[in-house]
Amino acid sequence: MGLRPAAPGSGSAEVVEVVERTAFPVNRGALCGKGRTAPAVLSSRVRLTGPLVRNAGTGRLEPAGWREALDRVAAGLAGTRAVHGADAVGVFGGGGLTNEKAYALGKFARLVLRTSQIDYNGRFCMSSAAAAHQRAFGLDRGLPFPLADVARTGCVVLVGSNLAETMPPALRHLSELRENGGRLIVVDPRRTPTAEQADLHLAPRPGTDLALALGLLHLVVAEGRVDEEFVAARTAGWPEARAAAMAHWPELVERITGVPLPQLRATVGMFCGAPSSMVLTARGPEQQSKGTDTVGAWINLCLATGRAGRPLSGYGCLTGQGNGQGGREHGQKADQLPGYRKLTDPAARAHVARVWGVPPEDLPGPGRSAYELLDALGTDVRSLLLMGSNPVVSAPRAAHVEGRLRSLDFLAVADVVLSETARLADVVLPVTQWAEETGTTTNLEGRVLLRRRAVTPPPGVRTDLEVLNGLAARLGWEKGFPTDAEEVFEELRRASAGGPADYSGITYRRIAEEDGVFWPCPDGARPHPGTPRLFLDRFATEDGRARFASVAHRPAAEEPDADYPVLLTTGRVVSQYQSGAQTRRVPELNAAAPGPFVELHPRLAERVGVAEGEPVAVVSRRGRAVAPARVTRSIRPDTVFMPFHWPGEGRANTLTNPALDPVSRMPEFKVCAVRVEAAGDVRDEGAGDARVEGAGDAGRPAGRGGRAPVRGVTGGP
């Protein structure tokens, strides 16, 4: 990126101009519309430029100084702790925080607040894949190889990912794969723009990805395609996994998934017939109440065919947030310490405690996972500090979560913009964003990247590190929370040393000189080169062998019935991002994707009695959402799709099911039972949490934190 003079009246002394870096190996300079227009959110016209505090008399958010705002936050958190105990205070982070901020937030929760109640929105992103990675390989890194390897393999099975809309710059690797003679198989219940580019598109019924993977493994065994030498030398648990797969014969799998048997056979032929192959999964198979087992079944397919731990072959997971990989490595997750250490491991606790200068017994144990933490708000957890997340839009059963946030004794939110969640806060702290701060992020390959500050933030805005420093000082910790990102990173290096995600050999200087450094990268007498490709010699388990998962298909937590006969699945569109808190403030992106919609097949639309563009209601056991119909043959007749970027009447996550994976605690975003009806056809039963839908700021009772409209705020929507 570069800088140019500000346009007259822009409200900023500097304006960022995004400049392509064609030499960068991951995207080679390619940007999607969101990246190209990201500087628009730097404008003072759309972002927060000063703290806000809620007036106890009027219930309104009003401008305040930083001293008052931080005093209010410290008093709110300390007051709750004094009356109800440390675990009555919660902390909720975000997968977009830099490594330094994620590290500092976890340290702040465990040292300053002494609470175990910390988790983050990344739990909603990659937790199932992470759990399956750990179980199979002993280590979790999204891709165990550089993204550039994708273009050089022989066949890719892409499961539940629409890269053309969710990660457009990465799509070129799949295009190059096909140009090089490789084959692409896409698994998705919708015929997305990505599926349009595939050699073969499988469209399973939502929630049946586990059966599909098991059926493919059954065919691998039946057709004699198992790599027996690899299985014997480098894996464990094959007999049990083989027996589980053989119980899922192809005709049964065809009935469960809706994928025709000839397509199953063709998939096995392409995958096993190529000299090398990969399986890449994303949110489709992962955001299910059986997501860990589902990913494990796809890993089984790679292990049985010898397509793991070898060049140009393997299983990988595609991340969904700006720092989706690094955000879960350094301590803002309920059960983890920096370096991807387990909070329950005595040696890990001792190591991190030494770095932090406290006894190991001072560190709290594991707390609640993300949805469980949000569900406990207002009862067990009475106050919350939230950084970089917007659960009012992004959480499952969102109307219920909104109600829990409204019931808190105290809520503080640090964000760039006045998100739907920030509007509910007692104190809103305006913080810097990507171009205004220095810090590191870790991409899906495990490549640690350095992002240096390009412009000066507005005078009323502070970094998250400065916020934590100010709060820590008010709560009795004058030292230990520096505001300089590189100083924090140096401590992170020490805290991660010897852990699975070892950053100790990485420095800001190295990152800048080498276009990023792959972890693990331990410190030593000689500089470690980093590890772009994992598992080539051994897996990260104690005996070096990968572990098969013995899993069986089971239904989704909520299957269709007479009252709710259709399946809902959710996802993203190319011109919006996550909860849309920032992208919905960019005119160019809003022009391309102005609002929510319901995608449904013509046969379903005819049955419901709606036409293209007409409002259609989607009702689940948790609530009701209304959006214009988008009628298309690119989706299964038994399925509807909604993007999840918008609040209000069209909020998709009003409908979604918070049923949790027993291992990863991932909610089942990707499948739930609904009914579809013309928007005017309203039935009261099943409305569930939707009674609080659209309550807005006025929907919280006056008195304790009455939520009247915001007053005097620059950058409101």
Placement of tokens 């109640």 in the chain: 117
Q: How many CA atoms lie within 13 A of 538 on its CB side?
A: 6
Distance CA 149, CA 637 (A): 36
Token pair recorded at residue 608: 């419901």
Q: What is the pLDDT of residues 309-337, one digit of tens each?
A: 999 999 999 986 778 898 999 999 999 99
Q: Is 471 strand, coil or helix?
A: helix
CA–CA separation, 310 vs 110, rounded Å? 40
CA distance 392 to 114: 26
- Tokens 């309920």, residue? 334
Among the listed residues 328, 356, 344, the one whose alpha carbon sits nearest the alpha carbon of residue 107: 356
Spatial separation of the C-alpha atoms in residues 381 and 109, rounded to whole Å: 14
d(CA 45, CA 587): 12
Q: 43 pLDDT band (50/70/90 cuts)?
A: confident
Q: Name the residue with tokens 């419901």.
A: 608
The one-letter amino acid at 470 = G
Buried b (16+ CB within 10 A) or exposed e, 53-90: bbeeeebbbebbebeebbbbbbebbbebbeeeebbbbb
pLDDT digits (tens, 9 = 90+) for 427-453: 999 999 989 999 999 999 999 999 999
Quote the pLDDT of residue 699. 36
> Rounded CA gap, 130 and 120, in Å?
14
Q: Give the pLDDT band of residue 18 (cuts 50, 70, 90).
A: confident
Distance from C-alpha of 538 to C-alpha of 201, rounded to nearest angstrom = 33
Spell out the residues 6+ positions from residue 624 whose beta carbon is closer than 8 angstroms to its own: 617, 618, 654, 655, 682, 687, 690, 693
Q: Is the peptide bond before 275 cis (omega within 30 degrees of 0)?
A: no
Is the pLDDT at 344 greater than 90? The verdict is: yes
Tokens 């388990």 sit at which residue?
541
User: How far does CA 620 lie from the centroid of its chain?
Assistant: 24
Cβ atoms within 10 Å of 38's Cβ, excluding its own? 22
Contact criterion met (CB below 8 Å) for 139 and 316? no
**Residue with token string 């293209």:** 612
Burial 441-479 (b: 16+ CB within 10 A, else e): bbbbbbbbbbbeebbebbeebbbbbbbbbbbbbbbebee
Q: What is the DSSP string of 122-189?
A: GGGTTHHHHHHHHHHHS---S-SS-GGGGGGSSEEEEES--HHHH-HHHHHHHHHHHHTT-EEEEE-S
Q: What is the pLDDT of residue 284?
A: 93
Q: Phi-psi bin for 476: left (phi > 0), alpha (psi -120 to 50), beta?
A: left
Residue 10: predicted pLDDT: 43
Helix (H, G, I), strand (E, B) or coil at 685: coil
Q: What percent of the chain has pLDDT over 70?
A: 92
Residue 183 has pLDDT above 90, yes or no: yes
What confidence score (pLDDT) does residue 707 get?
A: 52
Which residues make Cβ contacts (< 8 Å) with residue 615, sequence separation at least 6? 626, 627, 628, 629, 678, 679
Q: Provide CB contacts within 8 A for 238, sequence distance 6+.
A: 231, 303, 304, 548
* Closest C-alpha among 570, 670, 674, 672 to residue 620: 674
The pLDDT value recorded for residue 693 is 36
CB 366 within 8 A of CB 343: yes
pLDDT tens digits for range 52-75: 999 999 999 999 999 999 999 999
DSSP string, 487-509: HHHHHHHHHHTTSSS--TT--HH
Tell which phi-psi region holds residue 609, choosing left (phi > 0), alpha (psi between -120 and 50) or beta.
left
Whole-angstrom CA distances from 488 to 346, 524, 609 are 24, 20, 59
Q: What residues have CB less than 8 Å from 360, skipping those under 6 apart? A: 346, 349, 350, 353
Beta strands in 188-327 (DSSP E): 200-202, 235-236, 277-281, 314-317
pLDDT tens profile 578-614? 888 888 888 888 888 899 999 999 999 999 999 999 9
From its phi and psi, is residue 40 left (phi > 0), alpha (psi between -120 and 50) or beta?
alpha
User: Where do the domains of the chain lie, and which CATH numbers do they carry?
Assistant: 2-42 (no CATH), 52-124+325-481 (3.40.50.740), 127-317 (3.40.228.10), 566-693 (2.40.40.20)
Could you tell me which of 502, 642, 669, 706 has the C-alpha nearest to residue 190? 642
Buried b (16+ CB within 10 A) or exposed e, 679-696: beeeeeebbbbbebbeee
Long-range contacts of 13-21 (CB under 8 A, 24+ apart): 13/455, 13/456, 14/454, 14/455, 14/456, 15/39, 15/42, 15/455, 16/42, 16/435, 16/454, 16/455
Report whether 573 contacts 643 (CB < 8 A): yes
pLDDT tens for 452-505 read 999 999 999 999 999 999 999 999 999 999 999 999 999 999 999 999 999 999
What is the mean predicted confidence (pLDDT) over 336-346? 96
Grouping H, G, I as helix, E, B as strand and the rest as coil, residue 681 is coil
Query: H helices of 344-427, where?
Result: 346-356, 370-375, 391-394, 398-406
Higher-scoring residue by pLDDT: 195, 710: 195
pLDDT band at 560 (very low <50, low <70, confident <90, very high): very high
pLDDT in tens, 229-255: 999 999 999 999 999 999 999 999 999
Helix, strand and coil content of the chain, in percent to the nearest 5, comes to 35, 20, 45
Model confidence at 5, pLDDT cuts 50, 70, 90, reads very low
Q: Residues 381-394: pLDDT tens digits?
A: 999 999 999 999 99
Q: Provide the pLDDT for residue 25.
A: 75
Q: Are strands 566-571 and 639-643 parallel, antiparallel or unpaired?
A: parallel
Give residue 379's pLDDT band: very low, low, confident or very high (50, 70, 90): very high
Position 377, amino acid? L
pLDDT of residue 21: 76
* Three-class HEC string of 513-567: HHCCEECCCCCCCCCCCCCCCCCCCCCCCCCCCEECCCCCCCCCCCCCCCCCCEE
CA distance linking residue 488 with residue 464, whole number of Å: 12
Mean pLDDT of the residues in the chain: 91
- Compute the distance between CA of residue 3 and CA of residue 603 in angstroms, rounded to an integer: 52
State the average pLDDT over residues 647-666. 97
Q: CA-to-CA distance for 635 and 681, rounded, in angstroms?
A: 24
- 647, 276 Cβ separation under 8 angstroms: no
Quote the pTM value: 0.93
Q: Give the residue-averaged pLDDT of 406-424.
A: 97
Q: Strands (DSSP E) along 357-466, which ranges?
A: 383-387, 410-415, 427-430, 439-442, 447-451
Q: How far apart are alpha carbons 214 and 264 in whole angstroms?
A: 11
Instruction: Give the pLDDT confidence of 469-481 residue by residue, as tens digits.
Output: 999 999 999 999 9
- Which stretch of 206-215, 550-559, 581-590 has the lowest confidence by average pLDDT? 581-590
Q: Would you place residue 15 in the very low, low, confident or very high pLDDT band (cuts 50, 70, 90)?
A: low
Each residue of 123-132: pLDDT tens digit? 998 899 999 9
Q: Smallest Cα–Cα separation from 154: which of 318, 313, 316?
A: 313
